[in-house]
A = this chain, B = another copy of it.
Amino acid sequence: MQYYLNGFKPGDPDVQEVAPARAGAGLPEKVDVLIAGCGPAGLCLAAQLSQFPEIHTMIVEPKPGPIEKGQADGLNVRSMEMFQAFGFAEKVKREAYWVNQTNFWAPDPANPAGIKRIGRVQDVADDLSEMPHTLMNQARVHEMFLDVMRNSPTRLEPHYSLAVRDLTVDTTTDDHPVTVTLERTGEGEEGQTVTVRANYVVGCDGARSNVRKAIGGELQGDAAHQAWGVMDILANTDFPDVRMKCLIASQKEGNVLILPREGGYLFRMYVELDKLNPDERVANRNLTIDHMIAAANRIMSPYSLDVKEVVWWSIYEIGHRLTNKFDDVPEGETATRNPRVFTAGDACHTHSPKAGQGMNVSMGDTFNLGWKLVQVFKGRSDASLLHSYTAERRAEAKRLVDTDHAWARIMSAPPGQSELDGTGMPRFQEHFIRNGMFTAGLEVEYGPSAIIAGNARQDLATGQKLGMRFHSAPVVRLADAMAMQLGHAAEADARWRIYAFAGAGDTGASGSAMRDLCDWLETDPASPVLRHTRGDEDIDAVIDVRAIFQQGFDELEYGTMPSLLKPAKGRYGLRDFEKIFCVDRKSGMDIYDMRGINRENGCMIVVRPDQYIAHILPLNAREDLAAFFAGFLKNA
């Protein structure tokens, strides 16, 4: 964690220096970005944008305040990696339940009316990520983002009791072209409206999104014909695996999913309720919490459940639905028009909660959009960059909906013969293992575009897949011998990163490939670092270059390293010491081996602000590197 660059400041270093306040009390008339909805999607975006005082962000939420419980609770490793960049992964790791194992229970062949444990799987495979898979109340995740906003230079706070009712886009102007009608929802002021003009609107307003409707989006997909119940409870049970994530399939009573939760006592159960008739809706069935508890007891028999406190519960139908477009530009007009309105999260895709993706994918949407908006607002990129949001995230959402569909079908089918007689691997377990990367959030892969190179040298880093997230590994920081994760050098600061891996014997000294690269990046007019960074900015403000060497920290000299890697920054011109890394000799975990980095020649890995790998090149591929950045960054 780096701080005090511009002088000492007492107190919590997470609380950043406050930016000058914007003039005017009450609601603003014009904003840069209006975010609809304080769910995970909206708050993740707000937390990102709140870091930039030059962007006037407003976030509205019809509820009177933050939710306190319920809804989603699964945080996959990819979300945890993102939380690391936002600075609160450690906090979540301390508070949350860690899903270490998933256990499978099925009818006991000796007594098919009862159940027995038939399998265990390590939930997150070794070295899939340095982060755990965790479970925590969605409301707590909201609070973490709200804290980031509160501590940001803009001290951004949501406007509660305010909903987006409708909006229109004026395609003839670039001056706040979106006119948004907001409606007050607070007691005594229901229905009062107020108008705000925005440059961009992001609808993170959930499954019934008004923003989606306003831009003509429609959720398409299958209707729901099955009722599942969910309850967060404090309860005693003689079921021995209640602190493990468990899938329990009974012979005739349906299925239960157990998710242990934060704090060591609370847990969640998803309980399959009756099948619904094709045009029947849950609302018409009068299902109550007592039905759920009774069903859970039947499914878990011979074990039983003694519920002491129902913290939250809900019964609902599964639907797998998706909108065609995540923005307001009609299919045929992408060449002539840039998007002004976006949807994200449940507003554009819904799916069952069983794969635990709800929060994760929604945050993934806006983490993708956030840095692009920043880049456009800062004048670094043309607004056409924003088309890539729909392109990248819709493909992801489609895969999610499809996978989830299959999963839900498998969850609801009665156990097969091979399971009952114990001859085959349980279908849950099989499917679960097959989907490990997916549920971890690590199958996201963006295709070639202006921001994902088409000609990457995948052979130079076989364990760092182009278009997928940069996979962290242990390193040791040269200046202070700090053993750490290389990926944790990246913060949610909308900056690009080049990880330059040195070839064999390279010490960064004069004449080495690393030195040549760094000197070129630092001084040549053709260097992307110089071309895209303004003279009054720190040299790493747009592209942050980090170097990794094959030696141990005590085999290299900091003093003789290239000056690009020791930049003077901030108002005092203080040296940044955190750019140079070595392999972790002591742990024996060598990042070159772990990630298949070419030892002989090294390579460069270009990583986007959202941690996805955009390019892989040889250390001397200067023109190619420059051309790549010039493809979406303007000259400064």
**Residues of A in contact with B (beta carbons under 8 Å apart):** 1-5, 7-8, 10-13, 68-69, 90-91, 93-95, 97-98, 100-101, 120, 139, 143, 232, 234-236, 238, 240-244, 260, 262-266, 308-309, 311, 479-483, 554, 557-559, 568, 572-578
- Measured between alpha carbons, how far is A100 from B480 in the docked complex, in Å? 7
Residues of B within 8 A of A242 (CB): 577
Identity of the chain B residue whose Cβ is nearest the Cβ of A554 in the assembled complex = B120
Known: A95-B13, A100-B483, A573-B236. A8 touches B260 (CB 8 A): no
Question: Could you tell me the distance in whole angstroms from the C-beta of A603 to the nearest C-beta in chain B?
Answer: 27
Residues of B within 8 A of A68 (CB): 10-11
- Measured between alpha carbons, how far is A95 from B574 in the docked complex, in Å? 19
Q: Assess the B234–A101 pair: CB atoms within 8 A.
A: no
Question: Could you tell me the distance in whole angstroms from the C-beta of A477 to the nearest C-beta in chain B?
Answer: 8
Identity of the chain B residue whose Cβ is nearest the Cβ of A238 in the assembled complex = B559
Identity of the chain B residue whose Cβ is nearest the Cβ of A101 in the assembled complex = B481
Residues of B within 8 A of A236 (CB): 568, 572-575
Q: Assess the B264–A2 pair: CB atoms within 8 A.
A: yes
Identity of the chain B residue whose Cβ is nearest the Cβ of A89 in the assembled complex = B94
Residues of B within 8 A of A260 (CB): 480
- Measured between alpha carbons, how far is A311 from B574 in the docked complex, in Å? 15
- Measured between alpha carbons, how far is A317 from B116 in the docked complex, in Å? 72
Question: Could you tell me the distance in whole angstroms from the C-beta of A630 to the nearest C-beta in chain B?
Answer: 32
Known: A8-B69, A265-B575. 11 other contacts (CB 8 A): A1-B94, A3-B262, A5-B264, A7-B309, A90-B91, A90-B93, A98-B482, A236-B572, A236-B575, A244-B480, A264-B576
Identity of the chain B residue whose Cβ is nearest the Cβ of A68 in the assembled complex = B10
Identity of the chain B residue whose Cβ is nearest the Cβ of A117 in the assembled complex = B557
- Measured between alpha carbons, how far is A568 from B238 in the docked complex, in Å? 12
Identity of the chain B residue whose Cβ is nearest the Cβ of A93 in the assembled complex = B90
Known: A13-B95, A262-B13, A480-B97. A577 touches B243 (CB 8 A): yes
Q: Assess the B4–A265 pair: CB atoms within 8 A.
A: yes
Q: Assess the A578–B69 pair: CB atoms within 8 A.
A: no
Of B139, B241, B559, B568, the residue contacting A10 (CB under 8 A) is B139
Q: Assess the B95–A1 pair: CB atoms within 8 A.
A: yes
Of B7, B265, B578, the residue contacting A5 (CB under 8 A) is B265
Q: Assess the A308–B574 pair: CB atoms within 8 A.
A: yes
Q: Assess the A98–B480 pair: CB atoms within 8 A.
A: yes
Question: Could you tell me the distance in whole angstroms from the C-beta of A104 to the nearest C-beta in chain B?
Answer: 13
Of B11, B90, B235, B558, the residue contacting A94 (CB under 8 A) is B90
Residues of B within 8 A of A5 (CB): 263-265
Residues of B within 8 A of A240 (CB): 557-559
- Measured between alpha carbons, how far is A93 from B94 in the docked complex, in Å? 13
- Measured between alpha carbons, how far is A264 from B479 in the docked complex, in Å? 10
Q: Assess the A244–B481 pair: CB atoms within 8 A.
A: yes
Q: Could you pull out 25 A-B pairs where Cβ atoms are within 8 angstroms?
A: A1-B263, A1-B264, A2-B265, A4-B263, A4-B266, A5-B265, A8-B69, A8-B234, A8-B266, A8-B309, A11-B143, A13-B262, A90-B90, A90-B93, A100-B481, A101-B480, A120-B554, A240-B558, A241-B558, A242-B577, A243-B479, A243-B480, A244-B479, A308-B572, A309-B572
- Measured between alpha carbons, how far is A263 from B12 in the docked complex, in Å? 11
Residues of B within 8 A of A120 (CB): 554
Identity of the chain B residue whose Cβ is nearest the Cβ of A560 in the assembled complex = B240
Identity of the chain B residue whose Cβ is nearest the Cβ of A14 in the assembled complex = B95
- Measured between alpha carbons, how far is A98 from B98 in the docked complex, in Å? 26
Question: Could you tell me the distance in whole angstroms from the C-beta of A265 to the nearest C-beta in chain B?
Answer: 5
Residues of B within 8 A of A2 (CB): 263-265
Known: A69-B8, A90-B90, A243-B577. A13 touches B100 (CB 8 A): no
> Which A-B residue pairs are the 4 nearest by beta carbons?
A10-B68, A308-B572, A240-B559, A100-B481
Question: Could you tell me the distance in whole angstroms from the C-beta of A375 to the nearest C-beta in chain B?
Answer: 26
Q: Assess the B12–A143 pair: CB atoms within 8 A.
A: yes
Q: Assess the A3–B572 pair: CB atoms within 8 A.
A: no
Question: Could you tell me the distance in whole angstroms from the C-beta of A198 to the nearest C-beta in chain B?
Answer: 32
- Measured between alpha carbons, how far is A234 from B3 in the docked complex, in Å? 11
Question: Could you tell me the distance in whole angstroms from the C-beta of A136 to the nearest C-beta in chain B?
Answer: 10
Residues of B within 8 A of A93 (CB): 90
- Measured between alpha carbons, how far is A238 from B479 in the docked complex, in Å? 13
- Measured between alpha carbons, how far is A266 from B13 in the docked complex, in Å? 13
- Measured between alpha carbons, how far is A240 from B558 in the docked complex, in Å? 6
Residues of B within 8 A of A97 (CB): 480
Residues of B within 8 A of A13 (CB): 95, 262-263
Identity of the chain B residue whose Cβ is nearest the Cβ of A575 in the assembled complex = B236
- Measured between alpha carbons, how far is A232 from B236 in the docked complex, in Å? 55
Question: Could you tell me the distance in whole angstroms from the C-beta of A232 to the nearest C-beta in chain B?
Answer: 8
Identity of the chain B residue whose Cβ is nearest the Cβ of A308 in the assembled complex = B572
Q: Assess the A7–B234 pair: CB atoms within 8 A.
A: yes
Residues of B within 8 A of A558 (CB): 240-241
Identity of the chain B residue whose Cβ is nearest the Cβ of A240 in the assembled complex = B559
Residues of B within 8 A of A243 (CB): 479-480, 577
Q: Assess the B308–A234 pair: CB atoms within 8 A.
A: no
User: Looking at A95, A120, A575, which has the most chain B CB atoms within 10 Å of its CB?
Assistant: A575
- Measured between alpha carbons, how far is A91 from B11 in the docked complex, in Å? 13
Residues of B within 8 A of A572 (CB): 234, 236, 308-309
- Measured between alpha carbons, how far is A576 from B265 in the docked complex, in Å? 7
